[in-house]
Amino acid sequence: MRPRRFLPTGPLKGRIRVPGDKSISHRSIMLGALAVGETKVTGLLEGEDVLSTAAAMRAMGATVTRTGEGAWTVNGVGVGALLQPEAPLDMGNSGTSTRLLMGLVASHPITATFIGDGSLSKRPMGRVIDPLSEMGASFEASEGGRLPLILKGASPAVPIRYRLPMASAQVKSAILLAGLNTPGITTVIEPVPTRDHSERMLRGFGADLTVETDADGARVISIRGEAELEPQTIEVPGDPSSAAFFIVAALVIPGSEVLIENVGLNPTRAGIVEVLRQMGGSIEEVNPREVGGEPVADLLVRHSALKGIDVDPAIVPAMVDEFPVLFVAAALAEGVTTTTGLEELRVKESDRISVMATALAAAGATVRETEDGLIITGTGGEPLVGTNGTIATHLDHRIAMSMAVAGLASRAGVEVDDVRPIATSFPVFETMLEGLTA
* Residues with catalytic function: 321
Q: What count of Cα atoms within 13 Å lies in the side-chain half-sphere of residue 368?
A: 7
Check whether 277 is labelled as a binding-site residue: no
Check whether 173 is labelled as a binding-site residue: no
- Give the residue with the Cβ less far from ligand S3P, 239 or 418: 239
Encode 225-253 in three state secondary structure.
CCCCECCCEEECCECHHHHHHHHHHHHHC
Phi, psi of 307, deg, nearest 5: -115, 145
Contact between 222 and ligand S3P by CB under 6 A: the answer reads no
Provide the H-helix boundaries in 216-319.
240-252, 271-278
Contact between 195 and ligand S3P by CB under 6 A: the answer reads yes
Contact between 243 and ligand S3P by CB under 6 A: the answer reads no
Contact between 93 and ligand S3P by CB under 6 A: the answer reads no
E strands within 49-165?
63-68, 71-77, 89-90, 111-115, 138-142, 146-152, 161-163
- Give the residue with the Cβ less far from ligand S3P, 169 or 249: 169
Q: In whole angstroms, what separates CA 111 from the centre of its chain?
A: 27
Distance between CA atoms of 276 and 125, rounded to whole angstroms?
32
Q: Least Å distance between CB 179 and ligand S3P?
A: 16
Contact between 242 and ligand S3P by CB under 6 A: the answer reads no
Return the range that interacts with ligand S3P (CB under 6 A); candidates 168-176, 306-314, 353-361, 378-386. Answer: 168-176
Length of the chain: 438
Contact between 4 and ligand S3P by CB under 6 A: the answer reads no
Which one of 298, 344, 417, 418 is in contact with ligand S3P (CB under 6 A)?
A: 344
CB 414, CB 391: distance < 8 Å = yes
Task: Pick out residues in 15-44 that bind ligand S3P (CB under 6 A).
Answer: 23
* β-bridge mates for residue 423, sequence order: none
Contact between 96 and ligand S3P by CB under 6 A: the answer reads yes
Distance between CA atoms of 301 and 366, rounded to whole angstroms?
26
Contact between 320 and ligand S3P by CB under 6 A: the answer reads yes
- Give the residue with the Cβ less far from ligand S3P, 45 or 333: 45
- Give the residue with the Cβ less far from ligand S3P, 195 or 219: 195
Which one of 98, 168, 339, 424 is in contact with ligand S3P (CB under 6 A)?
A: 168
Q: 282-291 and 294-302: which strand pairing?
A: antiparallel
Give the annotated binding-site residues.
Answer: 22-23, 27, 95, 123, 168, 170, 321, 348, 352, 398
List of residues contacting ligand S3P (CB under 6 A)? 23, 96, 168-170, 173, 195, 320-321, 344
Give the annotated binding-site residues for 3-phosphoshikimate.
Answer: 22-23, 27, 168, 170, 321, 348
